[in-house]
Amino acid sequence: MGSPYTLIANAPLDRRNTFRVPARAAWLAEVYAPAVLAELLAKPEANSRSMLVLGEGSNVLFTRDFDGLVVAMTNRGIEMLADDGESVRVRARAGEDWHGLVRWSLVQGLCGLENLSLIPGTVGAAPIQNIGAYGAELSETLEAVEAFDRHANASVRLTREQCGFSYRQSIFKQQPERWIITAVELRLRRNAPLKLDYAGVREELATMGVNAPTAKDVSEAVCRLRRRKLPDPAVIGNAGSFFKNPIVSNAQAAELQAAHPGLPVFNAPDGRKLSAAWLIERCGWKGFREGGAGVSDQHALVLVNHGKATGAQIWSLAQRIRESVQEKFGIRLEPEPRII
């Protein structure tokens, strides 16, 4: 049996982030067994340095080298912990591919993850952002997160309520140097109402000729929509949606809609959610390119690396986009990826 982790000095990260920007880490640890985390983090290479937990790098932008320890959890495996006939408790380790987990759940005849199909990244990264798409969020099916708590120097199990989930937010995002997620537990169902009301889903199902959709059909519709709207990171470097959809008060939303007819507005728990893509496109950025950094011509919310851009160049473009939206609409956009 090999070592439960590897430790690499001055490690290149250009192939570990989907923007494909050049960067290096002072140290990179690939961890195969969560039980060794306490030992690893006690080493001199780790205990006095900043820490970054990195999955597939699909939600991070490196604007410089990282003078700290990058931890990559590579533990894999999916298992059913309990099955009462109607619902199933599933445990997936952090190193599993997220879309691979979605496909696995569909093969088992389980509902709950179909709207989250084709989101890039690992299972361990999913709770950090409370990933969401096409009218669904991870927090709706997540039951618990298993993690290593650096403050307690111990492994813990956090319930959904303890994770502090909200729109693209969690305690793991708020305290990134404290937590290393090692597994997630989900509650999935054999029969559950499907989420079909997000824009485009019913239309895509109709195009597919599906009148009585299953979870597999919804997953296929979502995959088709995503492939059509979003550039593939394997073809052109990107991290998906770069900015969060801003949430404003009902009054501010009404004022903006009156001033800008056609502005898409959606219900949100704390007010009204606006379309960041619409705001950016109206400022003229869709398809913009300056050197290697640009905005996708498929979707205004996606910043891209045409091949030679640095992270600093992409971040500079993002700041210019944010300033123009602020000036035109009075809305300050917040980035989704973690900016290093």
pLDDT band of 1, cuts 50, 70, 90: very low
Q: What are the tens digits of pLDDT across the range 18-67?
A: 999 999 999 999 999 999 999 999 998 887 789 999 999 999 999 999 99
Q: Who contacts 160 (Cβ-Cβ below 8 Å, separation ≥6)?
A: 139, 142, 143, 144
Q: What are the tens digits of pLDDT across the range 171-230?
A: 999 999 999 999 999 999 999 999 999 889 999 999 999 999 999 999 999 999 999 988
Does the pLDDT at position 84 exceed 60? yes
Q: How would you label 63-96 residue by residue, b for 16+ Cβ within 10 Å and e otherwise?
A: eebbebbbbbbbbeebeeeeeeeebbbbbbbbbb
Known catalytic residues are 168, 241, 336
Rounded CA-CA distance 129/338 in Å is 10
In this structure, what is the dihedral angle of CA atoms 272, 202, 187, 154, given to the nearest 10 degrees? -50
| pTM listed for this prediction | 0.90
Could you give all domains of the chain from N- to C-terminal order, each with its CATH number?
5-73 (3.30.43.10), 78-189 (3.30.465.10), 237-339 (3.90.78.10)
